[in-house]
Structure 1
Amino acid sequence: MTYGAGRHPERHTERLRLRQWTDADLDPLAELDADPEVMRYIGDGSPGTRERTAAALARTRAAWDERGYGLFAAEEMATGELIGWVGLSIPGYLPEIMPAVEIGWRLRRRSWGRGYATEAAREVLAFAFDEVGLERVVSICHVDHHASARVMAKLGMTHDRTTRVPAHGQPVQVRSLTRAEHRASA
């Protein structure tokens, strides 16, 4: 579903500003993607390069213009620092679950364990179901990424399947949440 293509909303939680991307975000995002611990369970597990991050950022910005949803830059309101991203994307890397929209997150290491991913993802789910009008959202993580699995559970997502990503063979779990399930838990 296309929601307000060309619209670039901003959302707020108690501690975070979920906003659109700026050119100034490239360096902190590249630093995040270059951290081996952050990237351990992402893709094939290799850290990103500045060039790959720049290309991904360009695709992220284009997704908002094309679909009206995408990945929000997650900024700590108290400091104004970019701590990562939380948002919606199309998980084309896992064809067996398509069509689907995935909610995901990636935060800098010093922001882990503070509840930011759950806080921001709850806000993004409200956006996904109430404004975008999605009926179902999935989330995908490496089977050993227990922190992300805990966030998924806190969001009320239930196990859909365990499978492998065709491009690199990494084992992942897929969890899902419907609009009705989300509303029932609110």
Structure 2
Amino acid sequence: MTEIHTPRLLLRRWTDDDLVPMAEINADPAVMRWVGDGSVRDLERTAEDIERWEEEWDEEGFGLFAVELLGSGELAGVTGLTVPEYLPEAGATPAIGWRLGRQYWGQGYASEAAQATLEFALQDRGLDRVVGIARLGDHASANIMRKLGMVADHETTHPEYGHPLTVHTIDLTEYEA
């Protein structure tokens, strides 16, 4: 089982006990503001998400981790890698992403989890490039991508929802520099 320990977090695969806390995170409009079409997700939709994330682990050898606080065991949210099938121009390049419950914002957890995920992608999984996709105006996510060393590559439009996106990139040589 793939697990990553950081100073404050455990990034791990999903368990049945994660469904309700992740559904609570997904039910918060502030959390979901920048995700997809911005709508909240119920328990059933969250279960479908987790099932899809686990399938991607099995198919791709990477996926989205459950983010657990080491001190308390609380589920803080999700981070990891996924192939952004909704954005054909990204091709098969994995995208890094994260979503944390509002009570965990502003404490550096997203940056810590994302840094560990990027290291996992480029060093452990041997990927040579990772993208990050953020909606225009999502300054918090863009800031995390800058902290990771990612650079804004180009702007595009979400093909389904029509909102503007910025695609950030980093490759192995930039990461190692």
How many residues get paired?
177
Task: Show CA shifts across 1:35-83 (max 9, x none).
Answer: 1000011111111121111111101111111111101100011110000
Q: What letter matches 1:75 in structure 2?
A: E
If asked which structure has higher relative contact order (CA below 8 Å, sep 6+), I would say: 1
Identity of aligned residues (%): 51
TM (normalized to structure 2)? 0.98
Which structure 2 residues correspond to residues 17-166 of structure 1 after superposition, within 5 A?
17-166=10-159
1:167 to 136, 160, 168: 160
RMSD after superposition: 0.8
Structure 1 residue runs without a partner (length 5+): 1-7
Structure 2 residue runs without a partner (length 5+): none
2: CA distance between counterparts of 1:117 and 1:181?
21
- Deviation of 1:99 (Å): 2.5
Q: What letter matches 2:167 in structure 1?
A: V
Matched residue of 2:58: which SS? helix
Matched residue of 1:24: which SS? helix
TM (normalized to structure 1)? 0.93
2: CA distance between counterparts of 1:99 and 1:59?
17
Moved over 4 A (4+): none
